[in-house]
Amino acid sequence: MASSSGEYDVIVERNLEVPMRDGTILRADVWRPDAEGKFPVLIERTPYDKTGSSESNLGAGEFYGSHGYVVLIQDVRGRFASDGEFYPFRDDGDGENKDGYDTVEWAAEQSWSNGKIGTIGGSYSGATQYRMLSTQPPHLKAQFSRQSSADYYDEWVYRSGAFEHGFNVMWTLKHTATNARKLAATGAEDATDKSVNQASDDYQKWLEHSPISPLPPVAELHDWFTDWMNHPNHDDFWEEFSNARSHDRVNVPVHHFGSWYDCFLAGTLRNFSGMSSKAATAEAREGQRITIGPWVHNPGPADMREAGDVDFGEQAILGWFETRLRWFDHWLKGIDNGVDTDKPVKLFAMGINEWREFDEWPPAAVKNTPFYLSAGTSGSAKSLNDGVLSLEKPTLFGEVFDEYDSDPENPIRSFGGGHLGDNNGPRDQRGYEDRMLTYTTEILEDDLDVTGPVKAVLHASTSAMDTDWVVRITDVHPDGTSMLVCDGILRGRFKDSFEKPVALVPHMPTEFEVDLWATSHVFQKGHRLRVAIASSSFPRWDRNWQTGKNNALDSSGIVAHNRIFRDEVRPSHVILPLL
């Protein structure tokens, strides 16, 4: 619970009715100063129950209410106390219904409001913020959005063509189960009580179930999960749910707050970059800020110092409520506190565990540098090959490669990384590298500062019509610990297009670019840097049955024989942004 010490006592009002343009009633709880006058308003719109949302659980109403703000936390359409039908993301943006817009403008008209509205929240409550920007509510003045997406195809439901299986199966089961009242109204009481609630508790079992779609506990209850599974490509269906398409309509300052080990990191970076360059007004373009810390996905990340297996120290703690109070004090109260002159980019450098500020993303001083998969043995890894990673480009002629089999019935298990679920964040990968190809540098003689976007360029082939390429970057400590820094996946048939994937030609060497998103990590002197390659990471991402079909609809596949080339003509490498 946040400290609520401030100059005001706080009044709480429950279930205020907020009418939408189509007549649907959404309900909100309101915390406001116990005093005469009008105050700026902070809004969170959540599907997770306004009485137990990330903001209400942390005490945002009490904290900001005591500091002279009204806090309004609302159940989105079709969730908990609010009427209507819930379909993720649909009614929060610029579609037929504009629930975000209508909520902001309703709040601006209330007797306790001074007409200056800000928005708070993260994850889905970050999505409801980003979605409303395309509608330009006249009274919206600023946002502070935590850990959310720019594109719900590539940063929520899929990633580079692979289904975000662990997250979305858990999310679908959980939030169908908590919609019991809505489902009961449709005559689905038995399914809700006996199937969905049990499935939510036992979601690990359903992660192993195939096919993914239909998902039996919710098959007759919600069409949106089926819609997601029937649209594995980035087709017109997903355009409605893209925030990136409307960056040029943004007309308010936004603080984008993210984490290096967050499943929405790419969206945080993409929204900041897009709005900084394309926003509709100079104030909005110049008012974009971004903070990226060393945390996992978390309701109050700036109060955390630990993630995964790593303690990043007291310096990782910024103060979640205080950081946002300073932002809104400037934009909603006009306090001259330096927010407008802060450098736009604030990043936590892992490894040395310190904050650094920059004028742009990526930092201008970055030099993108290839590190090549090379011949030899590093003597540092218990992997399939224990290869070498080098700054020297290979000079070997002919087909030189390392190889392995990818069996979808026996996938490599997920461990660590930017996902929602158990065992996320930076984790020691040694227990999984025995089934992977690894390439490791010599012991570093100087610190190696990697800050910016990271990608792998693989020259590879497969015996199948499709396969996945999973790449991990780890920091190898002197004691051998192989700590995950960043990772990524590419479903092979999407190598040229997420709109129109093409089956791979079996056994043909092909170039693939795997997006590892980004990091800021200093590999210290005496450490090593390692690249690990595989073709699965389950259940974080779904099984690729390697047939070239829609994996969500199948239950069996084939073993693929995969090769990674590392010769002069096909020099597989990673590209690291060095400061």
Point out the residues that are catalytic: 123, 262, 297
Q: Which amino acid is residue 214, in one-letter code?
A: P
Tokens coding 235: 């087709």
Burial class (CB in 10 A: 0-12, 13-18, 19+), 227: middle
Q: What residue has token string 């205080």?
A: 322
DSSP 289: E
Tokens coding 313: 């120290």
Q: Where are the beta strands (DSSP E) in 193-288?
A: 254-261
Backbone angles phi, psi at 291, to 5 degrees: -130, 125
Convert 94-139 into a string of H (helix), E (strand) and C (coil). CCCCCHHHHHHHHHHCCCCEEEEEEECCECHHHHHHHHHHCCCCCC
In sequence order, the 6+-apart residues with CB closer than 8 A to the CB of 102 are 18, 19, 20, 21
CA distances for 572 relative to 315, 387, 528, angstroms: 37, 13, 19
Q: What residue has token string 């049990």?
A: 198
Buried b (16+ CB within 10 A) or exposed e, 324-353: bbbbbbbbbbeeeeebeebebbbbbbbbeb
- Give the angle subtended at the CA of 108 by the CAs of 241 and 339, to the nearest 5°: 75
Q: Which residue blocks in 279-378 are alpha helix, DSSP H?
A: 282-286, 320-333
